[in-house]
Chain A
Amino acid sequence: MDVIRNSDPNSDLEACLGLDPDGLTRWGISRRQIFQFCAGVAATMGLSSAAGASMAKAVTSPSRPPVIWLHGQECTGCTESLLRAYHPTLESLLLDVISLDYHETLCVGAGEQALAYKRAMMEKHKGKYVLVTEGGTPMKDGGIYCKVGGKTHVEHVREAAAGAAAVIAIGSCASWGGVQSADPNPTGAVGTHSVVPGTTVINIPGCPPNPYNFLSTVIYLLTFKRPPALDAHNRPKFAYGRLIHENCERRPHFDAGRFALEFGDEGHRLGYCLYKIGCKGPETHANCSAIGFGDVGFGSWPVGTGHPCYGCTEKADAFRKPIHALATLQNLTPPTAYPDVSAENGPAIGAGAAVAGLVGGLAVGAGAMWLKQMGSEPDKADASNKEP
């Protein structure tokens, strides 16, 4: 075995990854699948293939970083979204790549048992675990509107954030308050970053967010021990750096002035741009138009199915701006006049046909006369006219 290992340049890496060189799998994922997954993640984030290799090393390292996952005011849609991740599946990621030590939806234990385990894990991994918050935090009346085990969500978040190596807020609720923070905001719901001021909270907004934006961020953290590049709202730039509008498959319709004007009209049925029925794509930063949802291929995202984007990743849009309200265009305003949509089929055959017929007829007629005369004329001969 030693001889084989020494002759194989990959043996160190494989030993490190805990993979056996015979291609057998660990945790049901083959070495190839791990590399493909990590290369894919690295590519999604615009990183090099070398980063993919480091990621593969990080996610297969035997010491899995512990993760504490707290639920606040939310619908568990983010977790549901994450359950729909298929490369790799959520269970192999959460059980094997990270150590999901506490998650109120997924944990086996219940009640005091689960809370005790959470406390023990937080104590044991103090300063090393990753805190993920899902859901908004009610602040009004001392935060009494969301309690677990007799303690308010505010207390849970502050307690867990104090010993966390990194804090990730998944979903729009944890990022900026979400649906319950809409006016009149009866519970005073806020995002996690308002609960723990001074702590860097990586926001993965979306309702729900794309699971791969979350997974990529987690793996980036594991690999490089620091957050990816963030924008002004602490959203990872690799996922939230561009407007939906920029990569939308319906963008050519926008540029050509072809719009759906109401739900179910002809333009809507033909898949035209949804801007005029209130699509917020032009002011919403997210990569939905580029990567879609659910791993089922092209078109599986709201605009792809014919519903205008409602700006779930933007605090200024979702649950605040009405669905029908127009987005503010960031970089390009459509012209006031477009070529007439109804006249686009080309003109009817008109005088052109008459002229074409006339010219064609003249040519054929003249040609025929010319041919007729040719038959009655003697051929001029010269030296080259001898038949071979």
Chain B
Amino acid sequence: MSIAAPLRSKLITPTTLVLLALAAVGFYFLLERFLYGLGAVANINQGYPWGIWVVFDVIIGTAIGCGGFAMALLVYVFNRGDYHPLMRPALLSGLFGYTLGAVAVMFDLGRYWHVYNLLLPWHAQPNSVMYEVALCVMAYVVVLWMEFSPAFLEGRAAGGFRRFVDRWMWAIVALGVLLPTMHQSSLGSMLLVMGYKLSPLWFTLWLPALFVISALMMGYGIVMFEATVVSRSFGLPSHRALISKLSVVVGLITVAWLALRWGDLYARHVLAFACVVSVRVVMFWIENALFLAAALIFIVPAWRAGRRASFLGAVALLAGGSLYRLDAYLIGYTPVTHWSYFPSVPELMVTIGMIALEVLLYLVFIKTLPVLHGRPARR
């Protein structure tokens, strides 16, 4: 049995330098955004008040960050302790996905200096889905840091905070499973108010369920993706047996998701919309093809056993889930006719910078903190 240990490899490598450079470019444009305003850098407009910052950094970013949620559900709720080696890396990716997602919301808020009002109960509008998302994501960021805190605390003197975390970890973990179900489904509920502005291929009263289940799938997808990438990059054991076992479950969830989606499309008599040729319909088919490919790879034993195939399955899952969100929030969404949106270069660079920063911080953390299992325990 192995225990988690820091990798202790060099922090400054060509990879980290490139990531640092990308993050720096992103920060340059962010500086511009905060000095000259949203209009100076972003292509968002009156018709498309949210752009790639919200959709990628927040909607997709937090779904990718659901690794912690997905694994906590598996390890603690279904009591599958054997998956524990995958827990901390999953939490770590969730940590950055969510923290940076919460920070990225601030870029997109026109009057970000008012954001503290969210926390003042007398200004609260508890019927608002966005309010629920905001508070819930904030709370979950705190919960994630607490869940992850043992990585900082291990090997240190037992202080008051550590005692608190040890005593209440069960409650923190419970919150860590509860909160994402709340806000990931709310991200779907948010689109319910859009009504006819959203294409019937995406608009359904099942949006909250589709969003929360696909977030779970993406959570497992990122866990598998990370495990493979990290093990190959740093020459660590790949936990392939664990992942193979996990992928059956994920495949079944994906099939269930597809069944729900297509059953709903059929029940609403809107399948005809999927037969028109347009950008959004092509995206719709790509999205579903990705999910179907992932489901097939994970369920057919021969494909599941292949390293490359199962890695591709995880990628398909992540790409499908991301595209689903991108479609629902931007491509399948027509706020007003005759308006268009495509992200500007600065907008893209900010998002790329944020992703680079996430990967960079992930690398720094696994090198300095006990996150990854693999090295035999040194006793």
- Which A residues lie at the B interface, using CB under 8 A? 339, 344-353, 355-356, 359, 367, 370-371, 374-375, 377, 379-388
Contacts and interface: CB of A to CB of B under 8 A. Distances in A.
Interface in B268-317: 305, 307-308, 311-312, 315
11 contacts: A347-B344, A352-B344, A355-B348, A359-B352, A377-B232, A380-B237, A384-B237, A384-B242, A385-B239, A385-B240, A387-B244
B349 to A, nearest CB: 7
Nearest to A377: B232
B341 A346 contact: yes
5 closest residue pairs by CB, A with B: A382-B237, A346-B340, A349-B342, A346-B45, A385-B241
Given A352-B344, A383-B1, A388-B244, 6 more contacts: A345-B47, A346-B339, A350-B342, A355-B348, A384-B242, A387-B305
Contact of A345 (B231, B239, B338): B338
Nearest to B228: A374
B238 A352 contact: no
Given A346-B47, A356-B343, A388-B245, A381 B311 contact: no
A360 to B, nearest CB: 11
Interface of B: 1-2, 43, 45-48, 82, 85, 231-232, 235-242, 244-245, 305, 307-308, 311-312, 315, 338-345, 347-349, 352, 374
Contacts of B43: 346-347, 352
A352 B1 contact: no
A347 B342 contact: yes
A94 B88 CA distance: 81
A333 to B, nearest CB: 22
A380 B340 contact: no
Contact of B307 (A344, A374, A388): A374
B93 to A, nearest CB: 17
A345 B338 CA distance: 6
Nearest to A386: B241
Contact of B308 (A347, A348, A375): A375
B158 to A, nearest CB: 30
Nearest to B85: A384
Contact of A339 (B46, B241, B344): B46
A28 B238 CA distance: 85
Given A344-B47, A371-B312, A379-B307, A352 B342 contact: yes
A374 B310 CA distance: 12
A361 to B, nearest CB: 14
B57 to A, nearest CB: 15
Contacts of B47: 344-346
A345 B341 CA distance: 8
B241 A379 contact: no
B311 A374 contact: yes
Contacts of B46: 339, 344
B308 A384 contact: no
B344 to A, nearest CB: 5
Contacts of A359: 348, 352
Contacts of A367: 315
A374 B339 CA distance: 45
A345 B339 contact: yes
A382 B344 contact: no
Given A382-B2, A385-B239, A374 B232 contact: yes
Nearest to B231: A380
Contacts of A339: 46
Contact of A384 (B48, B232, B239, B340): B239
Contacts of A350: 342, 344
A267 B311 CA distance: 55
B45 A351 contact: no
Nearest to B44: A346
Contacts of A351: 344-345
A20 to B, nearest CB: 45
A345 B240 contact: no
Contact of B2 (A355, A383, A386): A383
A355 B232 contact: no
Contacts of B352: 359
A339 B45 CA distance: 11
B343 to A, nearest CB: 5
A380 B305 CA distance: 15
Most buried by B among A347, A348, A377: A347
Contacts of A384: 82, 85, 237, 239, 241-242
Nearest to B242: A384
Most buried by A among B241, B338, B347: B241
A346 B236 contact: no
Nearest to A367: B315
A346 B39 CA distance: 11
Contact of B374 (A353, A370, A382, A386): A382
A371 B311 contact: yes
A352 B43 CA distance: 10
Most buried by B among A339, A351, A384: A384
B290 to A, nearest CB: 13
A346 B348 contact: no
B315 A387 contact: no
Contacts of A381: 237
B236 A352 contact: no
A385 B349 CA distance: 40
A196 to B, nearest CB: 53
Contacts of A375: 307-308
Contacts of A388: 241, 244-245
Contacts of B340: 345-349
A118 B214 CA distance: 80
A350 B311 CA distance: 34
B21 to A, nearest CB: 14
A214 B11 CA distance: 82
B238 A355 contact: no
A359 B312 CA distance: 19
Contacts of A385: 237-241
A370 B236 CA distance: 16
Contacts of A346: 43, 45, 47-48, 339-342
A370 to B, nearest CB: 8
B240 A379 contact: yes
Contacts of B339: 344-346
Contacts of B348: 352, 355-356, 359
A356 to B, nearest CB: 6
A343 to B, nearest CB: 9
